[in-house]
């Protein structure tokens, strides 16, 4: 496995691969890797002949400075995990390498970046589009693998690729969960034991919503979920929403054939966790 810190280094290796006819798969991450990340790498290894992972905690996508400061960083452990999992190239740039000058680009994804995390984390998806577009320009992957845990991000990245006419296939991959159902996340390691226990209620409440969806009006079900969340003093809902799975517009009445997804952002202590589940 080759570890590259600069654009020139990674470009040199990937150019050679391309000349050799390799199919390049790409998994962008912010590090502090877990099985969820490795499942994306495995999907890449299955579909491509060479797999590249990036580890970069992108400052422009953090709307909360404290969140950026406390974000876990463990590059050596990450690289050992990637090597063990059969990654070919790791791209681990510095902030200066990625942003030699401030990125002033403003993306517009219509309604898609104005709702949910777009509304609750101002600037977040603009920062995601900035870094993913740069990474795609550097790596030029044939396929890029993204986890459905960040459901809105998958839709945003697909839309960005369309808008910029980038020749890359976006491959969405299923959510990996802990045995108690909590979606795996680098942020889980920041939870205290009590917060971790409280967080396990999040998938339980979403499962309840999935089971009861259709038996009562959407607004009533959402209130029921909020009530359940508020029963646990360590949890604080940021949002819970039932949305059209394609547009992410929130729904009150379901049209025949419409796919609905429940999305939630909930704080356990100071740590903001997200999850989602298709409900019909
Ligand atoms: P992050 O390091 O949090 O930016 O995540 C990097 C990639 O891994 C993103 O495409 C995430 O959606 C994906 N990912 C994170 N957690 C999970 C999970 N539990 N299951 C599947 N994919 C995940």
Query: Of 6, 126, 18, whose CA–CA distance to 54 is shortest?
Result: 6
> Could you tell me the two tokens for 22?
């390799």
3-class secondary-structure state, position 275: strand
Cα–Cα dist 116/94, whole Å: 30
Q: Could you tell me the pLDDT band of residue 16, with boundaries at 50, 70 and 90?
A: very high
Q: Please, are residues 156 and 113 in contact by the beta-carbon 8 Å criterion?
A: yes
d(CA 240, CA 274): 10
pLDDT tens readout for residues 107-151: 999 999 999 999 999 999 999 999 999 999 999 999 999 999 999
Q: Which of 193, 206, 4, 158 is nearest to 88 (CA)?
A: 4
3-class DSSP assignment, residue 86: coil
- Beta-carbon contacts of 133 under 8 Å, excluding residues fewer than 6 positions away, are 105, 160, 164, 166
**Active-site annotation holder among 34, 37, 120, 124:** 37
| Beta carbon of 85 within 6 Å of any ligand 1 atom | no
8 A C-beta contact, residue 195 and residue 234: yes
Own/partner long-range contacts of 218-227 (Cβ < 8 Å, ≥24 apart): 218/242, 218/251, 218/252, 218/253, 218/254, 219/252, 225/264
Query: DSSP string covering 135-175, please?
Result: HHHHH--SEEEEEGGGHHHHHHHHHHHHHTT---EEEEEPP
**pLDDT in the model for residue 82:** 99
Residue 99 is predicted with a pLDDT of 98
The stretch 232-250 carries a mean pLDDT of 98
Q: How many CA atoms lie within 13 A of 61 on its CB side?
A: 19
- State the average pLDDT over residues 213-226: 97
- 48-51 CB contacts, 8 Å cutoff, 24+ apart: 48/22, 48/23, 48/24, 48/142, 48/143, 49/22, 49/23, 49/24, 50/17, 50/22, 50/23, 50/24, 50/25, 50/88, 50/89, 51/24, 51/25, 51/26, 51/27, 51/86, 51/87, 51/88, 51/89
What is the CB-side half-sphere exposure of residue 110 using CA atoms within 13 A?
9
Reduced DSSP (H G I as helix, E B as strand, rest coil) percent helix, strand, coil of the chain, to 5? 45, 20, 35
Structure confidence at residue 187 (pLDDT):
97
Q: Is the CB of residue 29 less than 8 Å from the CB of residue 55?
A: yes
Query: How much is the pLDDT for 269?
Result: 98
User: What average pLDDT score do residues 36-44 get?
Assistant: 98
pLDDT band at 79 (very low <50, low <70, confident <90, very high): very high
What length is written for the chain? Answer: 280
Mutate-to-test residue for ligand 1 from 27, 28, 30, 36, highest number of ligand atoms within 8 A of CB: 36
Mean pLDDT of the chain: 98
User: Which residue CA neighbors atom 6 of ligand 1 most closely?
Assistant: 29
Q: Which helix (H) or strand (E) holds 92?
A: none
Q: How far is the CA of 220 from the centre of ligand 1 (A)?
A: 31
Q: pLDDT for 50-64, tens place per residue?
A: 999 999 999 999 999
pTM of the model: 0.98
- The confidence band for 152, taking pLDDT boundaries of 50, 70 and 90, is very high
Q: Using a 6 Å cutoff on CB, does residue 54 contact ligand 1?
A: no
Residue 34 among the catalytic residues: no
State pLDDT tens for residues 171-187: 999 999 999 999 999 99
Using a pLDDT cut of 70, give the percent of the chain over it: 100
Q: Is 240 in the pocket of ligand 1 (CB under 6 A)?
A: no
pLDDT category, 160, cuts 50, 70, 90? very high
Which of the four pLDDT bands, split at 50, 70 and 90, describes residue 222? very high
Atom of ligand 1 nearest to the CA of 174: 21
* Sequence-ordered strand ranges (E) for 56-135: 89-91
275 lines ligand 1 (CB under 6 A): no
Identify which of 168, 180, 186, 234 has the alpha carbon closest to the alpha carbon of residue 207: 180
């Amino acid at each position: 496995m080759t570890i590259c810190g600069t654009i020139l280094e990674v470009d040199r290796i990937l150019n050679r691969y391309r000349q050799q006819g390799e199919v390049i798969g790409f998994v962008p991450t912010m590090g502090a890797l877990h099985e969820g990340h490795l499942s994306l790498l495995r999907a890449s290894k299955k579909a491509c002949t060479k797999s590249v992972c990036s580890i970069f905690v992108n400052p422009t996508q953090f709307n909360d400075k404290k969140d950026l400061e406390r974000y876990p960083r463990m590059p050596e452990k990450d690289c050992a995990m990637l090597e063990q999992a059969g990654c070919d190239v790791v791209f681990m740039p510095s902030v200066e390498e990625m942003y030699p000058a401030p990125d002033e680009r403003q993306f517009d994804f219509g309604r898609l970046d104005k709702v949910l995390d777009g509304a609750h984390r101002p600037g977040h998806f603009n920062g995601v589009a900035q870094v993913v577009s740069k990474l795609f320009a550097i790596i030029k992957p044939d396929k890029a693998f993204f986890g459905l845990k960040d459901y809105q991000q998958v839709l945003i990245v697909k839309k960005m690729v369309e808008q910029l006419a980038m020749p890359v296939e976006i491959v969405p991959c299923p959510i990996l969960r802990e045995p108690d159902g909590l979606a795996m996340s680098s942020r889980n390691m920041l939870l205290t034991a009590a917060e971790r226990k409280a967080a396990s209620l999040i998938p339980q409440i979403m499962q309840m919503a999935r089971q009861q969806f259709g038996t009562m009006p959407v607004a009533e079900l959402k209130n029921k979920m909020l009530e359940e969340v508020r029963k646990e003093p360590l949890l604080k809902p940021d949002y819970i929403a039932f949305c059209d799975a394609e547009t992410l517009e929130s729904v009150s009445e379901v049209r025949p054939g419409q796919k609905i997804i429940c999305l939630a952002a909930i704080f356990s202590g100071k740590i903001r966790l997200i999850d989602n589940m298709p409900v019909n």
